[in-house]
Each structure stands twice: as C-alpha cells, then as structure tokens.
Amino acid sequence: MVAGRGIDATMTGEDKAPRTERGRRTLRALLDAAAAEFGEKGFHESSVVSITSRAGVALGSFYTYFDSKETLFRALVKHMSGQVRDHVAPLVAGEGDQLERERRGLTAFLAFARSHKEIYRIIDEAEFVAPDAWRAHYGTTADRILERLQGAVARGELAGPVDEAHAWAIMGMNVFLGLRYGVLDEERGVGEVADVVNAMLRDGLTKR
Amino acid sequence: MVAGRGIDATMTGEDKAPRTERGRRTLRALLDAAAAEFGEKGFHESSVVSITSRAGVALGSFYTYFDSKETLFRALVKHMSGQVRDHVAPLVAGEGDQLERERRGLTAFLAFARSHKEIYRIIDEAEFVAPDAWRAHYGTTADRILERLQGAVARGELAGPVDEAHAWAIMGMNVFLGLRYGVLDEERGVGEVADVVNAMLRDGLTKR
Amino acid sequence: MVAGRGIDATMTGEDKAPRTERGRRTLRALLDAAAAEFGEKGFHESSVVSITSRAGVALGSFYTYFDSKETLFRALVKHMSGQVRDHVAPLVAGEGDQLERERRGLTAFLAFARSHKEIYRIIDEAEFVAPDAWRAHYGTTADRILERLQGAVARGELAGPVDEAHAWAIMGMNVFLGLRYGVLDEERGVGEVADVVNAMLRDGLTKR
Amino acid sequence: MVAGRGIDATMTGEDKAPRTERGRRTLRALLDAAAAEFGEKGFHESSVVSITSRAGVALGSFYTYFDSKETLFRALVKHMSGQVRDHVAPLVAGEGDQLERERRGLTAFLAFARSHKEIYRIIDEAEFVAPDAWRAHYGTTADRILERLQGAVARGELAGPVDEAHAWAIMGMNVFLGLRYGVLDEERGVGEVADVVNAMLRDGLTKR
DNA sequence: CATGAATGAGAGTTCATTCAT
DNA sequence: TATGAATGAACTCTCATTCAT
C-alpha cells in the first residue's frame, strides 16, 4: 500500500495531478498496483497492462497520470525512500546514546524490510533502472547517518573523527542485513541481529 | 576481458563447448563482448545483436555457444564471482593478524572494483536477473568471511563469538564501499578508505 | 470468407473477444485473411506478418485476438469443421432412403470442397499441426455417419449390421473423392462421381 | 529402417551417390535416421541437425548426400511408396477372385500401417510438403487398383463398368482404415476390419 | 476522465545451408 | 569424405505508447 505521505503532485508530472476525487482514487489504485507488481516481478517483468488490470482501470488511464512506466517507477522509488526514512527516523531520534539509537534504528529497519519486501526490491532495482533516484536515496541516507555520527562525536559519545566512509560502511551493513534477515529468510529475530552487529560497531571485534 | 580462469565447459552448456581453436576464439570474443555490454548497459538494455556485432561474429554464432541471453549472463556471473575471489584470496591469506588481512583484502577489492566496474554491475544486477547465482555468490562469500573470522577467534586474534550476521555485515560494508569509492567515483584512495573502516572494525566507534 | 457461424468467443480466447464494433471488424478481417493464407500456402508457409498485412491491420493486432498462430489455426479448423457439417447436414436429412440421402450429401460435399478448397486443405493439414482438432473433426464426422447408418438399419433400409469400420470406410471414400474431384481437378461433374460411388455402396461391385 | 529396395542413385541426386562402402554406410544411417525423425516429429519439427546427430554423422555430411531437407523428404516418400507397394503386391496377386485378393491386400496394408506408422505419416504429410510426390504415390496406387478392377471386370468377376472414381473411393477407404485401425489405435484385429469392409464392397449395404 | 483497440519497433531464437579445415 | 563452426534471413511474439471514441 502506498500510504504515509499522501498523494500529491510529486507522484505524477506537474500537469498530471488529479483534479477530482475520482481521479485521486484512480491514481491511488495505480500506485498500489504498481508497488505490488514491481515488488513481485521487478521492473522489466512488470507490464503496464498488468499494472492497470491489477488496479482495475483501463490501460489508457495509466498515461493520464504518468508519462511512462519509468516515470512511475522513479516516483515510486522516491516515495518509498521517504517511507523508509519516516519509519526509521523517530527511532534514531529517541533516547539513549547514539549507538543505542542506531541499534533501535536498525531493528526498526529490519522489521520494516521484513514487512515491506517490495519496497526493498524496488529501491535496489533502481540502481539499474533509475540510477539517479538510487543515488539520491542512498546519498541522502548516508548523509543522515554521517550527520548523526558527527553529532555524537561532537557530544563526546563517539570517538571520531568520522567521515563519509563510515556512513557508507554502516549503510552497507544495514542494507545487507536487511536482505539477509529481512527479505531472504526470517529465521532470526531482528532484535538479535541488530544487537550482534551493534556490539561490533560499539566495541570492534578485538575487545575482550 | 574475460580472463583469469580460462574458457572451459563451465562457460557453456556441456554440449556447446568449442572443439576447435577457431571455436575457442569465437567463444572468447563473445564472452568479452558480453561482459563489456552487460557492464555498460545492464542486462535488459543489452541485446544479443549488439553483443555479437561487438564481438564481430554473426548473430547465429551466439546460439552455437549459449542457450540464451540469460544463460550467458548466469555463466558470466559465476565466472566473475570466481574472479573477484581469486583476486582477493591471496591477500586475505597473507601475513599479519586477521584484521590486517581483511584490510588488505578490502583494499584489493576496492581496487578491483575500480578497474572492473562491469563485474560489479553484473554481479549486482544478478539479484534481479538470476537470483540463484546472486545468492550463490554472496552466500559463499559470506561463508568465507565467517570461516576466516572463526579461525581468528580460535587463534585468539578476535574476541568472538562471531556468527553469520557479522559476515553479512562486513560483506555489506565492503560492497557499499566498493560502489561508493570504486564505481561511483574515485576521489579517495582505496587504501585510505580501507584504513578508516578497518579501524572501526578493529576497535569500534567508541574507543578513545 | 469466414462466415456462416458468426464471430464469437469460440474464435478467440475468452478474454480476447472484441468488445467494440471496430474490434469485431478487425477480428473478421484477420479470420478471413488467415483462412485464405492457410488455404493457399499451408500452415508452415503462412506467416503472421503476411496474414496481418493481407488483413490490412498491424502485426500486433494479431495478438490482440489470438494467443498464437497455432491457436488461430486450431480455431479455424473447428470453425470450418462446423461449416462443412452445416453445409452437408440438411441434405442428408432430406427425403429418400438413407443411401439416396448419402448420395445427395456426397454431392453437396464435393461441390463444397470444390468451392472451398482452402477449408479442405486446412482440415487435412490439421493432422500434422493440431492432431487433436483433426481427430475431433473426423471422429465426430464418423460418429454421425455411423448413427445415420444404424438408423437406416433400424428402419430396415439397410441390411446391417454396421459398425465404426463402415463409417470410417465411407468417410475415407468421401474425403479422397473430394480431394480428387474437388481439389485436384474439376474435370468430372460432382453428381456423376457421387452416383458412381453411391451405386457401389448400394449394391456392391458384384451385382449384375 | 529403410530397407527392401536397396540404396541407389534414386535416393540422392545423380552426382551424390556414394562411391565407397563407407559412403554407403553413412547414407544408410542418414536415411534411417530421417525416416524415424520425420515419422516421429513430422517434416517441420524435424531438423537436419537432429537427423544427423541421430545418425551419428556430422552435420555437413548431410549435404554430401542430399541437396536439401526437402529433397531427402521427397526421396523418402518415393522410397516408402515403393515399400508399401512391394508389401501389398504379392497379396493382391495371389489366388481367389479379385475381391478376395483385395481383402488380403487390405489386411496386409493395415498390418503394414500398424508396424510402420512412420511411413504412413510421411506419405500423408507429403500432401503439404511435396505435393507432386504425394500425387505420384496416390495416382499410381489408384491406377493399379483400377487396373485390377478392370481386369476382374474383363474376367467376369465383377459387374462393371468401373472407373477412376471407384479406384479413388476404394483407396480412400483403405487409407482411412489404415489411419483409424493402424495408426490411431490397435483395438481391433486387422483381418476383422478388412472382412467387414470387403463384404460391403462385395455386396453393398442393401443386400439381405 | 475513462476506455481499449491499434500500432510497430524491436527482441530473442531457430535452423537450413555454406565452407574452411 | 567428414567435420562442425559460421552465417543471416526469417520468424513468432511482446509491450510501451498513442489516440479515436
């Protein structure tokens, strides 16, 4: 389901935003159908016919709201990028030291990946379908991580100095853990996985 | 260039291995062309026509050696998976403690990614085109990391216990660093990036 | 011309039936073109490109109405099987004893073969392209002949007993006469041929 | 197996007849393989690669002996036409009146069809692949039947007059009975079927 | 706004045939 | 004579996109 951020002009071309309630319903149906379709079959195996038929609207209606299949995909990537952020943000902003917050953030992320496998798949496939959107997502995600780490260094919670490489490393860890324990299978508890890795981040592998 | 492992039956179907020298030349040309093509344009934008014309052979010759475009892609993923491993293996097996070896391995990996951007792209796109091959690659890669870590724990070099989650976390780190500093841009030295992250792994983020 | 039975869902897949008048026109054009094409060139020499260009529609439109070239062929076999039956049925149901009716039926069949050579060729080629459709056609045709013969035996018009072998024998006679005097050349009158053979059926070859 | 008539220049182009013993073996292997292949899969589904590999010879060797796939098919049709004739001939030339001989001939033909389903299939498909060979086969077959009937009329065994239509009718009967009780299934004894139909030919359907 | 028929470029794949070895 | 790699025309089928209704 495409929710959480509402449907607005950012999901369509400027001149394609729905003007009536009926239009909004159609657009909503298309977005939901597309998210499900792309998530299940990937971009290239998904077809516009299949998306519209899943949405229960006519084929032509697709182009009332989107310029192309790729435009829609791109919009969806942006939308879902926002959703992940919205879901994780409150948890990394809560109490405890920064690493404790990161732990909670990772737990939340793993849980989110587990319950939104399609989002995961869409964002990752963007690397090949809409590289700019992919870079935007991971670029800003890394930026946020870096900001948090630097804040923690400034507050004396972490040793520092930290730089972009730390942020990308941590993001890579999180993403692969999401793949492994969120999407591929669910044999381990998300909290436990987050604990293990958080301990490594806190103290390194050598501390006794 | 598709080198390092030679051309053998593993690259084609059993009954499609070339039996003459001329055949071996053609197969090699096709593999090189395909690696370049897939690396530049990705699987779906690459076409068999374009691969064969790049290889300077007739369209039909493609099917003398491969059952389908996907078969070739899969073979390439396997091949390149082997190449990465071969390239990194000697460095993680050298002297120093395990983390020192991992640092050298990451440096080598980043350098390799930088000079073989197509390999990177091919393996990653496999997540969507040939998920089994993708899982095989990352599965065995994680297994190797885990074995190395456990060996180090057994030798008293690392604190332990370590489990699969550590391996996937470290692999994720490496992969994203490869994307960021190998493929996306080359502004930072690979050794420096490896140092920064290795320090984090060794001592964690809190050590002063 | 594909007429006589109308165009309905039996000619296409369930979900491919035209929903507009324009669609019905296109479907009809395709059916007519295909019947002509298959009749002239046979299944394998006929191409979808050629069928659509003959029908004056775009290549893609073919697949709006049929799943494949074979699907269409199969539909056509069924349709034409029905047409032959419809054409002959009233004549074998008229007055006179059963052999008299069979004579009229054969005459009608020969005339029909002569003016619908394509139908003949399509049904016969089905033996190799769509054996199930072929068996369905000749199976039910033989069944009908057998029923007619048994009815005549019951009414005392024929000596009996008659069984399936009689039906297949008579059908084979008719088919080969249709080939010889309907399709291959038209040198003899259809009525005369029917008379000759009917006499043989009635009295055998030995009666003086 | 392609036997009974030997292998000679009639099976290949004039200038393609084998000159060595080794060549004769290769040609033989190709003919056998082709007969099996065409019989199982039909002309269009059969491929030259598959025929040669079944024969255990190289692809190129095919063209040492045949000008094309169609040439071979045509040769095979001719060859098999001869085989059927050879098989049936002695039985229609034996003792008894002509209808008795025809009965034995039909029995032999049905048995032959049953044990040589591929021959049947090849000759029939010739209607679409090599119409001239098809016409030659059925034309001469009908001619022979007609000659036999006319001889019998001359000898006073049959009532006459008989003409070509009788011959085609009888041939059609035989062919369809061969399909029905030889190829499609084998539930009834060939002798019994021949008896039933022969009685009809002898006395007609009305005699009490 | 909604509909769905029409379009046609382009893709992957097959395979009879040629020909250098 | 045998081999099998190479060729490329031809084919079926897909599907994003357009547009008349």
Are B126 and B27 in a shared domain? no
**Does the beta-carbon distance from A165 to B159 stay under 8 Å?**
no
Chain A residues in contact with B168 by the CB 8 A cut-off are 176-177, 179-181
Instruction: Decide if D3 is inside a domain.
Output: no
Q: What is the 3-state secondary structure (H, E, C) of chain D?
A: CCCCCCCCHHHCCHHHCCCCHHHHHHHHHHHHHHHHHHHHHHHHHCCHHHHHHHHCCCHHHHHHHCCCHHHHHHHHHHHHHHHHHHHHHHHHCCCCCHHHHHHHHHHHHHHHHHHCHHHHHHHHHHHHHCHHHHHHHHHHHHHHHHHHHHHHHHCCCCCCCCCHHHHHHHHHHHHHHHHHHHHHCCCCCHHHHHHHHHHHHHHCCCCC
Chain C residues in contact with D184 by the CB 8 A cut-off are 135
Q: How far apart are CA C101 and CA C115, in angstroms?
A: 21
Are B94 and B170 in a shared domain? yes
Q: Considering its fold, how many domains does chain A have in total?
A: 2
Cα C5 from chain centroid (whole Å): 13
In one-letter notation, the amino acid at residue B73 is F
pLDDT by residue (tens digit) across C150-200?
Answer: 999 999 999 979 999 999 999 999 999 999 999 999 999 999 999 999 999
Interface C:D, Cβ pairs < 8 A: 136
Instruction: Decide if D75 is inside a domain.
Output: yes
Give the gap in angstroms from C-alpha D25 to the nearest C-alpha of chain C: 31
Range list of H helices, C21-115: 21-45, 48-55, 59-65, 69-92, 98-115
Separation in Å, CA B34 to CA A167, B23, C206: 34, 16, 77
Q: How far apart are CA C165 and CA D67, in angstroms?
A: 42
Are D57 and D142 in a shared domain? no
pLDDT by residue (tens digit) across B74-93?
Answer: 999 999 999 999 999 999 99
Residue indicated by tokens 């405890």: A96
Instruction: Decide if C36 is inside a domain.
Output: yes
Instruction: Decide if D171 is inside a domain.
Output: yes
- CB-based contact (8 Å) between B161 and chain A? no
Q: Is pLDDT at B9 greater than 60 in this prediction?
A: no
DSSP secondary structure letter of residue A59? G
**Domain limit, last residue, from D21, D46, D67:** D67
Instruction: Decide if D4 is inside a domain.
Output: no
**Residue B16: per-residue pLDDT:** 82
How far does chain A reach from its first CA to its final CA, in angstroms?
46
Phi then psi dihedrals of residue A98, to 5 deg = -65, -40
**Residue D107: per-residue pLDDT:** 97
**Residue A8: per-residue pLDDT:** 53
Give the nucleotide nearest to C63 (CA→C1').
F13
C59 sits within 7 Å of strand E by its CB: yes
Instruction: Decide if A184 is inside a domain.
Output: yes
Question: Nearest by CB to D166, which of C125, C135, C196?
Answer: C196
**Residue B5: per-residue pLDDT:** 45
Are A172 and A85 in a shared domain? yes
Are C14 and C96 in a shared domain? no
Q: Is pLDDT at B6 greater than 60 in this prediction?
A: no
Are D29 and D79 in a shared domain? no
B63 sits within 7 Å of strand E by its CB: yes
Are A40 and A91 in a shared domain? no
Contacts of D198 (CB under 8 A, 6+ apart): D99, D102, D103, D106
Q: Is pLDDT at B4 greater than 50 in this prediction?
A: no
Q: Is pLDDT at B48 greater than 90 in this prediction?
A: yes
Nucleotides on chain E that have an atom closer than 7 A to a protein CB are 1-21
Q: Which chains touch A (3 or more CB pairs under 8 A)?
A: B
When pLDDT is averaged across residues C40-56 and rounded to a whole number, the result is 95
In one-letter notation, the amino acid at residue D107 is T
Contact by Cβ (8 Å): C176, D177:
no
CATH number at residue B146: 1.10.357.10
Are B97 and B118 in a shared domain? yes
**Residue D13: per-residue pLDDT:** 60
User: What does the longest C-alpha to C-alpha distance in chain D come to?
Assistant: 65
pLDDT by residue (tens digit) across B106-155?
Answer: 999 999 999 998 888 899 999 999 999 999 999 999 999 999 999 999 99
**Residue D20: per-residue pLDDT:** 86
**Residue D18: per-residue pLDDT:** 82
pLDDT by residue (tens digit) across D45-72?
Answer: 999 999 999 999 999 999 999 999 999 9
Q: What is the mean pLDDT of chain B?
A: 90
CA atoms within 13 A on the CB side of C180: 25
Q: How far apart are CA D193 and CA D196, in angstroms?
A: 5
Contacts of A93 (CB under 8 A, 6+ apart): A101
**Residue A5: per-residue pLDDT:** 46
- Residue B61 (CA) to nucleotide F8 (C1'), in angstroms, measures 10
DSSP string across A1-24:
---SS---GGGS-GGG---SHHHH
Q: Is pLDDT at B102 greater than 80 in this prediction?
A: yes
Counting as low any pLDDT under 50, the low residues of chain A are: 3-5, 9
User: Which of the four pLDDT bands, split at 50, 70 and 90, describes residue D21?
Assistant: confident
Contact by Cβ (8 Å): C178, D190:
no
**Residue A4: per-residue pLDDT:** 46
Using CA atoms of D151, D153, D158, D162 in order, give the dihedral in degrees to the nearest 10: 100
**Residue numbers of the domain that contains C45:** 9-67
- Residue A138 (CA) to nucleotide E1 (C1'), in angstroms, measures 37
**Domain limit, last residue, from D49, D67, D85:** D67
Q: How far apart are CA C152 and CA C161, in angstroms?
A: 10
Separation in Å, CA B92 to CA A202, B105, B108, B152: 24, 5, 9, 12
Structure tokens given for C176: 């080969």
**Does the beta-carbon distance from C202 to D197 stay under 8 Å?**
no
When pLDDT is averaged across residues D158-177 and rounded to a whole number, the result is 95
Instruction: Decide if A96 is inside a domain.
Output: yes
CATH number at residue D57: 1.10.10.60
In one-letter notation, the amino acid at residue C72 is L
Chain A residues in contact with B124 by the CB 8 A cut-off are 127-128
Stated as kind and residue range, the H or E segment containing C159 is: none
Separation in Å, CA C153 to CA C99, C103, C162, D46: 11, 17, 8, 47
Nucleotides on chain F that have an atom closer than 7 A to a protein CB are 1-21
- CB-based contact (8 Å) between B44 and chain A? yes
Question: Nearest by CB to C206, which of D124, D142, D158?
Answer: D158
Contact by Cβ (8 Å): B88, B63:
no
When pLDDT is averaged across residues C66-72 and rounded to a whole number, the result is 94
Instruction: Decide if A3 is inside a domain.
Output: no
**Residue D125: per-residue pLDDT:** 93
Nearest to A77 by CA among A17, A133, A139, A12: A133
Give the nucleotide nearest to B59 (CA→C1').
F8
Q: Tell whether the torsion through CA atoms of A129, B71, A181 and B200 is positive or negative.
A: negative
Helix (H, G, I), strand (E, B) or coil at B161: coil
- Residue C69 (CA) to nucleotide F13 (C1'), in angstroms, measures 10
Contact by Cβ (8 Å): A30, A57:
yes
**Residue C5: per-residue pLDDT:** 46
Contact by Cβ (8 Å): B130, B77:
yes
When pLDDT is averaged across residues C43-71 and rounded to a whole number, the result is 95
- CB-based contact (8 Å) between C20 and chain D? no
Give the gap in angstroms from C-alpha A158 to the nearest C-alpha of chain B: 5
- Residue C56 gets the label, from left (phi > 0), alpha (psi -120 to 50) or beta, of left
**Residue B39: per-residue pLDDT:** 92
pLDDT by residue (tens digit) across C89-127?
Answer: 999 998 889 999 999 999 999 999 999 999 888 999 999
**Does the beta-carbon distance from D200 to C204 stay under 8 Å?**
yes
**Does the beta-carbon distance from A162 to B206 stay under 8 Å?**
no
Are C56 and C124 in a shared domain? no
Contact by Cβ (8 Å): C68, C89:
no
Give the gap in angstroms from C-alpha A81 to the nearest C-alpha of chain B: 17
Are C60 and C129 in a shared domain? no
Could you give the percent of chain C with pLDDT greater than 70?
93
Could you give the percent of chain B with pLDDT greater than 90?
80
- CB-based contact (8 Å) between B170 and chain A? yes
Are B107 and B49 in a shared domain? no
- Residue B65 (CA) to nucleotide F4 (C1'), in angstroms, measures 13
**Domain limit, last residue, from C17, C32, C67:** C67
- Residue B49 (CA) to nucleotide E9 (C1'), in angstroms, measures 15
Q: Is pLDDT at D141 greater than 90 in this prediction?
A: yes
Are C50 and C149 in a shared domain? no
Could you give the percent of chain C with pLDDT greater than 90?
81
**Residue C20: per-residue pLDDT:** 85
A208 sits within 7 Å of strand E by its CB: no
